[in-house]
Amino acid sequence: MQKCHEVSGTQMVTVALRRIDLNPPKGTSGNSNAIIDYIDRKKITLLPNTAGVSFAADALRYARIAVAMECTHLKVEVTGDLTTLLPDPVETLRAVEIIRAHEETKNLYLMVYTNDDPVLARKLADAGAQCVMPAASPIGSGRGIANEANLAILLEMMQGRVPVVVDAGIGLPSHAARAMELGADGVLLNTAIAKAKDPVRMSSAMRDAVAAGRAGYLAGAISAKMYATASSPI
């Protein structure tokens, strides 16, 4: 994991608060066995997330834990369906509202996992989300961007408002590059690297794909056409 962090050049790593032991037993060396102790927080921002909760009130509880851990960022994730692991749009919006209104958690930088609904993304930003994180496709599916048209509209609607990080469903470097070509500010991925046959090499591939996709977006790509156009002037 640490080698993948180093090779990928990642700036942020997310961990599920429900799935980490905040008081782990000591290892044989006397050091903690907590996974977060293997994340270099001098170089990487820790992004705790609320994965596994189904209600806004539970998301608030984990937001308070994030504050107690002296974290500055929180990924809000409220699951609506256990088969697809897609977010619950109603509870997600409520979670943002109550976390932002709570005195203890109001200053957290909220990055919100959502579906690719442009209208919901706008409502989340209005409620206080500082970053929206639409799913390309279901978590861990590796299918890439399932609805490119929706994502393109969402990115256009959010331009100049809040950053957009494409989260979930990325399986190949080409998926990451495409998200960046469309104008995303970043991608969040795990399974594509963690379950690759060579995770470190895949980390390198994803790093290069993100850089290439971003450069392609900034360069201003030509429009696709049905028919040929001579590339040499007459």
197 classed as catalytic? no
Stated length of the chain: 234
Question: What's residue 54's pLDDT?
Answer: 92
Segment 129-143 shows an average pLDDT of 92
Segment 122-140 shows an average pLDDT of 93
Each residue's pLDDT tens digit, 199-229: 999 999 999 999 999 999 999 988 888 888 8
Question: What's residue 32's pLDDT?
Answer: 55
Compute the chain's Rg from CA coordinates.
19
Q: Where does the pLDDT of residue 178 fall: very low under 50, low under 70, confident under 90, or very high at 90 and above?
A: very high
| For residue 68, pLDDT beyond 60 | yes
Q: Which residue type sits at 25?
A: P
Q: Where does the pLDDT of residue 192 fall: very low under 50, low under 70, confident under 90, or very high at 90 and above?
A: very high
- Cβ(10)–Cβ(210) under 8 Å? no
- Of all residues in the chain, the percent with pLDDT exceeding 70 is 95
Options 75, 106, 195, 197, the catalytic residue: 75
Residues 53, 219: Cα–Cα separation, whole Å: 41
E strands, 99-221, in order: 109-114, 131-134, 165-167, 186-188
Ordered by where they begin, the domains of the chain are: 2-219 (3.20.20.70)
Q: Where does the pLDDT of residue 19 fall: very low under 50, low under 70, confident under 90, or very high at 90 and above?
A: confident
